[in-house]
């Protein structure tokens, strides 16, 4: 291994070592206000520098999210200087991931008639990047105007093919699936082209785990809320990436009569299902997310490839960020600590 690779591997693990602990999570869950969450993160965690310019007495969720996003970007930039190729692969993935997350965030606001609020919620580093202009996006009042704002980006062809209801309603689920299908396809292509051996196997494993577990959750939700069997729409929500779950098993889930049957097939016939244990189906998303988290954390600790370590670190940081946002939202709406705990991945 080159000196640069060794330094990158060491640096990634050192940054991973600064992650939130179980005690941090417990103490965050006991915060009573968003102001207390911000103060705790600033005074007791590695987020102190990222939150240095935030006024604890006048903070809101958008500010915290933007600061967390900026921190992730700065961390990736710091890691990139040790090995340019690894940094560029991860930067491309992060750019696409961030763009997709921001597009979906805007569409949620647009669906609620609050699209203009997005201009206050976007990450600072996201402005006019790779052809996507968030200012134009925030100015859209309809999906058609949003599409015009997307013109010239890699997402335009994906988004224009998704129909909108006669009343202007947006098929958010299909949009989300289509965008992440693009991300998975792009990542798979990059991995197959640029990596070999155990590094390639580990990276495809990370990607495959994420896509397969997402496909399972899509099928489970479809059966639970729409009670459809073998429906073409349900089939369209399965990502075209087989890693540990065979197409035959996915077909059995799609043709199952109920969500409970889907869960039983997943539990008895898949690599992941055997690790489920007892679960509360109300929080199945979080249980499944923990399976993915466990896989990524294992590679972070034991992989000897620097790119795998960086990719794992970025995924773990994203999970931690999402958990913090969940805690912020829970505290904001006065949800009990026990319920918030059941909704997060890290425990």
Read off the pLDDT of residues 94-150 as tens digits, 9 standing for 90 and up: 778 888 988 998 999 998 888 888 877 777 666 556 678 888 888 999 999 999 999
pTM: 0.82
Read off the pLDDT of residues 42-73 as tens digits, 9 standing for 90 and up: 999 989 888 888 777 777 777 777 777 778 77
Say yes or no to pLDDT of 82 above 70: no
Could you tell me the residue ranges of all domains in the chain? 82-194
Determine contact, residues 287/276, Cβ cutoff 8 Å: yes
Report the pLDDT value the prediction gives residue 254, as an integer from 0 to 100: 92
In the predicted model, what is the mean pLDDT of residues 16-23? 90
Task: Indicate the range of 155-169, 225-239, 295-309, 320-334 predicted with least confidence.
Answer: 225-239
Fold classification of 82-194 (topology level): V-type ATP synthase subunit C fold (1.20.1690)
CA–CA separation, 34 vs 5, rounded Å?
Answer: 40
For residue 51 the two structure tokens come to 């939150």
- Of the pLDDT bands very low, low, confident and very high (cuts 50, 70, 90), residue 228 is low
Write out the DSSP string of 205-267. HHHHHHHHHHHHHHHHHHHHHH--SS-HHHHHTS-S--SSS-HHHHHHHHT-SSHHHHHHHHH
Q: Is 98 exposed, middle or buried (0-12, 13-18, 19+ CB in 10 A)?
A: buried
Going 81 to 87 to 88 to 93, the CA torsion angle's sign is negative
Say yes or no to pLDDT of 271 above 90: no
Report the pLDDT value the prediction gives residue 58, as an integer from 0 to 100: 72
Say yes or no to pLDDT of 81 above 80: no
């Amino acid at each position: 291994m080159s000196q640069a690779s060794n330094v990158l591997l060491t640096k990634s693990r050192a940054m991973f070592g600064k992650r939130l602990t179980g005690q941090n999570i417990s103490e965050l869950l006991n915060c009573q206000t968003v102001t207390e969450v911000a103060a705790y993160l600033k005074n007791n965690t590695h987020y102190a520098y990222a939150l240095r310019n935030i006024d604890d007495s006048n903070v809101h969720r958008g500010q915290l999210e933007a600061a967390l996003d900026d921190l992730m970007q700065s961390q990736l930039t710091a890691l990139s200087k040790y090995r340019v190729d690894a940094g560029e692969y991860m930067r491309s993935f992060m750019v696409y991931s961030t763009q997709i997350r921001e597009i979906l965030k805007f569409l949620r606001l647009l669906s609620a008639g609050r699209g203009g609020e997005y201009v206050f919620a976007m990450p600072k580093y996201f402005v006019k990047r790779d052809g996507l202009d968030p200012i134009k996006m925030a100015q859209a009042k309809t999906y058609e105007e949003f599409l015009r704002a997307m013109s010239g980006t890699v997402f335009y062809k994906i988004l224009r093919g998704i129909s909108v209801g006669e009343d202007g309603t947006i098929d958010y689920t299909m949009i989300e699936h289509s965008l992440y299908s693009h991300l998975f396809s792009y990542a798979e292509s990059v991995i197959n082209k640029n990596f070999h051996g155990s590094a390639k196997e580990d990276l495809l494993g990370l990607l495959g785990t994420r896509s397969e577990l997402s496909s399972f959750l899509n099928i489970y939700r479809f059966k639970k809320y729409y009670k459809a069997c073998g429906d073409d729409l349900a089939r369209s929500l399965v990502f075209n990436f087989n890693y540990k779950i065979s197409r035959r098993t996915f077909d059995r889930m799609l043709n199952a009569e109920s969500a409970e049957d889907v869960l039983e097939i997943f539990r008895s016939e898949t690599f992941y299902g055997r690790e489920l244990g007892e679960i509360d189906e109300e929080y199945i998303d979080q249980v499944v997310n923990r399976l993915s988290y466990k896989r990524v954390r294992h590679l972070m600790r034991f992989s000897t490839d620097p790119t795998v370590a960086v990719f794992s670190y970025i995924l773990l940081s994203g999970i931690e960020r999402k958990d913090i946002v969940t805690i912020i939202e829970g505290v904001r709406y006065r949800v009990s600590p026990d319920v918030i705990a059941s909704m997060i991945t890290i425990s």
